[in-house]
Structure 1
């Protein structure tokens, strides 16, 4: 009897809940679209109507409002992961299931498909109790699902040691202004508040109350595209992002890994015409909150891509317009360029929502940092010769330079959302791609710095190759295979090179042509030119590089990009030492695979690099030091200021220490040192680590200057050299031969220093002795942190 009573009570409650929904349905606001849903404003709840079970759709989450810190990285408009999901009934619940699309069996054999599906895990993202079931339609309460911290805000804050925060539902609610329903997508927006105790300076710097952090998370349910999209085979030479999965139905003689390019769907209206409009053009929309003159620059630069589509026979296939006032940037129907504000300058992003089944790009989404333009403006301000000597409105040249960069930035980030990867070898081939990172290129004419060629304009030749490979139409599969190979062969014959991210990073990177922010076919010649520009800019630098009435503390910050102007070209030059040249080759394509950079080129690069460790080159001229008094109240140092060890006074020695550390960190990178050992072993004519270390010591520790100031600057640099030698001697990740050679040089130095009586020689001698007695206790002494440099005007994280 008791069991019957309990069962009856459960049944009564269940029926009562369902009855309550039915009775109150008329009071709820109804939204009709891909999924119809109801909003109960009394309880702040959302009920979803599911009419088709086991039907796949795309679920995407994102941030519709962010935190505003580049360091934290939770920005307005930031996309999360896209996931194919479907609703499945299980008892009195609907489960939201994410199938495993990484492992597939593309076959008509149902049992073979099932065997693969059952072999790998799926994921149930959520379980929803059925509130009502009627005529094959199910009502579920999705409020708690939508009010999760799906984007991982609290996790991110904890990882970055900004504090321990938890979601406070009492301070969270749905935002109906951005909650909408459309035929092919429904959008939910939720205001989420996280409470906790702030620990990090980044969160404290941007939040009005750092114990309560409120952001908005966005959820999109999106209809998947039809099956009319045609996948295109990925080639490592093509410049596109690869999309891949494993097909277990593949014959044994073929690769189980399938790779395709990511791209938008694009077809000609008239397939037989040489030039035709598209069935559906690729249309991007610019954030209507973007101000002038940035707005016009972004529109102009973004539209460059149409040049590449015209080159393959499309008319107006790529378009860029202003986002309508009533449109939401996170609505999947719009490819969007969003203007994002942060407390400090930072990266820009080109990301996409893609169909995980095929790699088809459904939505391109660009986020551009609004402070980026100011860094290029500052570089121009620093390099100009007395721009504010006569009037304070003489800024047009600076603005023109910054706007030129914004045009290129727009094209670059849109390129990512079209499916294209970085090409960091393009700068060595006449600036052949907007997908490189462009350092402003200056020259000296009649003893003045010339700005006219700072940034390239228009789409590059390599960009036309990537568009041709990804978006050209072909009459058949055989024609496509042949045509794609011809596109890449023509590019090769034109001398165009393609090297992307993993081979371009500066630390232990080896590719001699691929680097971030470098210029020139000859990296070494470009470094020499950069050093000349830097020298002239420093000679010209004066109080007239700021406006009348501005604090001299501002002048110090304007000086920073001039002083470190050579940093990226120096990084690029270090990659030639122990460097390689190689291609992303495929069998039969006629490209060489890999070769060592010739000894004479490595030596030439080394000689130029060593200039950045010469006090007479890097020391701030004595007659400029009076420009930098202790900072005024209200003008404290920032992360973009020169740091030092002398308290309130400007520290010229630390500036040299910081810039020397930058060079040495790359030149004596452990991987480079090991590579130099191997290269010398393979061919005795190669440069080798011994020559690098001998040249380094000869041009630093053994170098003397008559000028006492220069000598003290040199001494500061020399200590950095010593630390990096010790680090090589003590490093467990290098070849043992590197340790042996570094120890040998320390022993030789010890003998040289023992014969000297000046205090710095004696101190270096003491440090070598101490190191040899306690090598395991050695830790390199940090130099004052180099001011933020990258992004000079951009970067992308995908």
Structure 2
């Protein structure tokens, strides 16, 4: 009888002999790749022209590297996404050989143990799932090297084009292998990165949506290109920097299970480029290796120069942090590939409609080091700004040259936009409080600053700021300051933020600014001024002046008169974002991202007087005076000329082909009311009034009814606009009263306001004879008397045409 030890040795020999036999069966890499074109580099690969295959030589088994997929040739639809240059997520991966198979493994870095104890690390690794992204078959071997066929891996839909189209409800497509192939012009190799590219065709199209039909030459075949990058991991000399909620940085986070029980297990570090001073002890020093960005050479002039100039503003911030020429911007050489990880890129992206620009990054998930910054700028943005300027200036007077102010304003916006998106790729978040700090950051969303000069004419000379703001310098100092040895880094970083707070600089980011029911009095998108209510009054004056001047001179000679509507839309809605800003003062709460002991404001209600000013401005935006377009404008706009057609940039209509001034007024009034009577704002008004005797929801509803239902009756079109707005007030109060997400007392006050309208309508109905106003009252009473199930489903109001992004906006990291 054989002993257990003998059995174990016999099994081990059997396994080893099987492995050796398998290895012996594999041909050598040299013989397998004979006649193929060899691409030496980080991962050497071979191209077989006869079969159209790529063979990958893996000489770094079980060594981690970065893997990124991207989209060098996109779909062209802002609504679906899938833009030229779009980056996928950054993954840490490694190749692992298991017998005849080679697996591409993604470890789970969201859960780690940074302990030196291998057993402690293994316990965490085995507690959470890993992901095997692909399985290859070993086809040849030499020593520690193995050769695999990588073709199917490279020709798959790694960027999930199919999913993106399906999620946007634009059709069901599938990858067609017969119309897909490797794209050799962008398949390259370098010492620290290996780049592959493939042309992929997606077929289907029977149910293709409008967005696909807008951009595809044939909806049955969508051909794009996808890119794969294998990137050597950065060395271990990068020092991660801890995240502070006051600093305004993106970053990485993970759970570290080796953390002592009395410390926070959730570790957070900011995302930043590697930047070191040659002499950290010097007040000003050159960088060991500067950060260099490259502007797309496909951007036309004068836009290309504007992109370069705007991006270079960031060097001002690095100079404030003690660097010399540490941030540089050049035009991309013709020989460079924009998807090559070695290049930080500012790319000029074309789409069928205007849309957001954004800054993406390749970030080392282990440390937060930014390996590559990639900015995508929508090319139609500059044209939208130009059109806004046309609407404001009415510049096409017969016999006179058009004003240069329009192009100057559009280029000023492009400079600012370039700086903004580059800021994201430096690791920095939006700062929507900057406009209240004298435009202290390019990371805010700027509305054009328009003024009336002494002669009462519109002045665009300072529509957009130039240069980096004070907050941007604080942010760069926090993220990139290189401290001398022996410095207490955490103390020094805290002092940077404390000093910024002492100077009155405030950082408030996305969640607090984007919420429709938001409460922060200075955190807004596309606003201006120190006080939102005061600036709303100024914006309404600008709007009034522009509408007074509006004429056929707002379009070029020879242009179809129906295109006046295109120019009118942003002018009629010129106040929309300042209205949104003012609404946040009503039921507003001032606060900061304070930390214990930093002496910043934690919470502080907006004063009752400031809330009242904001309410006054909001109520003005729904007045018939503001909402009603003048007759001399209405009669200038005919139905759309042949070939132009309707599009999303125009006013919605209830009148068919003809221009509908009532629909424009409806959408604008509905927008203001949706902000003012937002369920969260209504609930907050009740709560803050109870605690501080500030403006209450009852104050708001009473003034709202006084300014609409109980206001003096207008005549003509203004009367119809007035009655339309009153029905909208009724709609929003009905929705508020029956919204179960609203507090009980807010619903009670809304119900009381409805009863007030009902009593008033009944009284007025008994006073008059048949008239449009009497019909209006009867309709309102009918709505008020309907069963609850019908009350909470009123007719849907019209939406405003899209406004953001101004200059043709995040998501976090975007505009």
TM-score range, shorter chain: over 0.9
Range 19-28 or range 310-319, more displaced: 19-28
Q: Residue 368 of structure 1: CA displacement?
A: 0.2
Following the alignment from structure 1 to structure 2, what is the Cα–Cα distance between the partners of residues 582 and 567? 24
Deviations 1:510-539 (A, max 9, x none): 111000000010111100000000000000
Following the alignment from structure 2 to structure 1, what is the Cα–Cα distance between the partners of residues 299 and 445? 23
Q: Secondary structure at the match of 1:94?
A: strand
Deviations 1:525-555 (A, max 9, x none): 1000000000000001111111111111111
Q: Secondary structure at the match of 1:47?
A: strand
Deviations 1:535-583 (A, max 9, x none): 0000011111111111111111111111000000001101111111000
Following the alignment from structure 2 to structure 1, what is the Cα–Cα distance between the partners of residues 168 and 565? 30
1:308 to 306, 317, 320: 317
1:637 to 608, 622, 646: 646
Cα 1:626–1:763, aligned 2, differ >3 Å: closer, same or farther?
closer
Q: Secondary structure at the match of 1:191?
A: strand
Following the alignment from structure 1 to structure 2, what is the Cα–Cα distance between the partners of residues 738 and 477? 57
Following the alignment from structure 1 to structure 2, what is the Cα–Cα distance between the partners of residues 465 and 518? 22
* 2:768 match: none
2:387 to 366, 378, 383: 378
* 2:809 match: 795
1:53-132 map, 5 Å: 53-132=61-140
Deviations 1:440-490 (A, max 9, x none): 011111110111221001110000000000011112465312211111111
* Runs of 4+, deviation exceeding 6 Å: 13-17
- Could you tell me whether the CA contact under 8 Å between 2:29 and 2:146 is conserved in 1? no
Q: Residue 749 of structure 1: CA displacement?
A: 1.0
Q: Residue 664 of structure 1: CA displacement?
A: 0.9
CA-atom RMSD, angstroms?
1.8
Following the alignment from structure 2 to structure 1, what is the Cα–Cα distance between the partners of residues 399 and 211? 37
- Could you tell me whether the CA contact under 8 Å between 2:28 and 2:141 is conserved in 1? no
1:331 and 2:345 matched: no
Following the alignment from structure 2 to structure 1, what is the Cα–Cα distance between the partners of residues 667 and 442? 31
Following the alignment from structure 1 to structure 2, what is the Cα–Cα distance between the partners of residues 597 and 15? 75
1:10-89 map, 5 Å: 18-19=26-27, 23-89=31-97
Following the alignment from structure 1 to structure 2, what is the Cα–Cα distance between the partners of residues 185 and 202? 36
Q: How many residues align?
A: 786
- Could you tell me whether the CA contact under 8 Å between 1:269 and 1:277 is conserved in 2? yes
1:522-671 map, 5 Å: 522-671=531-680
Range 779-788 or range 302-311, more displaced: 779-788
Q: Residue 396 of structure 1: CA displacement?
A: 1.5
* 1:215 match: 224
Following the alignment from structure 1 to structure 2, what is the Cα–Cα distance between the partners of residues 551 and 33? 58
Q: Residue 14 of structure 1: CA displacement?
A: 8.6
Following the alignment from structure 1 to structure 2, what is the Cα–Cα distance between the partners of residues 353 and 438? 27
Q: Secondary structure at the match of 1:194?
A: strand
1:513 to 512, 516, 522: 522
Q: Residue 236 of structure 1: CA displacement?
A: 0.7
Following the alignment from structure 1 to structure 2, what is the Cα–Cα distance between the partners of residues 391 and 311? 49
Following the alignment from structure 2 to structure 1, what is the Cα–Cα distance between the partners of residues 167 and 97? 37
* TM-score, normalisation: structure 2: 0.94
Deviations 1:724-743 (A, max 9, x none): 11110111111122222212
1:286 to 295, 299, 323: 295
Cα 1:17–1:645, aligned 2, differ >3 Å: closer, same or farther?
farther
* 1:7 match: none
Q: Secondary structure at the match of 1:298?
A: helix
2:197 to 189, 196, 204: 189
* TM-score, normalisation: structure 1: 0.96
1:397-796 map, 5 Å: 397-445=405-453, 446-476=455-485, 478-683=487-692, 685-757=693-765, 758-777=771-790, 778-793=792-807, 795-796=809-810
Following the alignment from structure 1 to structure 2, what is the Cα–Cα distance between the partners of residues 669 and 140? 59
Deviations 1:603-643 (A, max 9, x none): 11000110000001221012221111122111212111112
Q: Residue 335 of structure 1: CA displacement?
A: 0.3
Following the alignment from structure 1 to structure 2, what is the Cα–Cα distance between the partners of residues 183 and 464? 35
- Could you tell me whether the CA contact under 8 Å between 1:64 and 1:217 is conserved in 2? yes
- Could you tell me whether the CA contact under 8 Å between 2:619 and 2:704 is conserved in 1? yes
Cα 1:36–1:75, aligned 2, differ >3 Å: closer, same or farther?
same
In structure 2, list runs of 5 or more residues that go unmatched: 1-17, 766-770
Cα 1:411–1:391, aligned 2, differ >3 Å: closer, same or farther?
farther
Q: Secondary structure at the match of 2:328?
A: strand
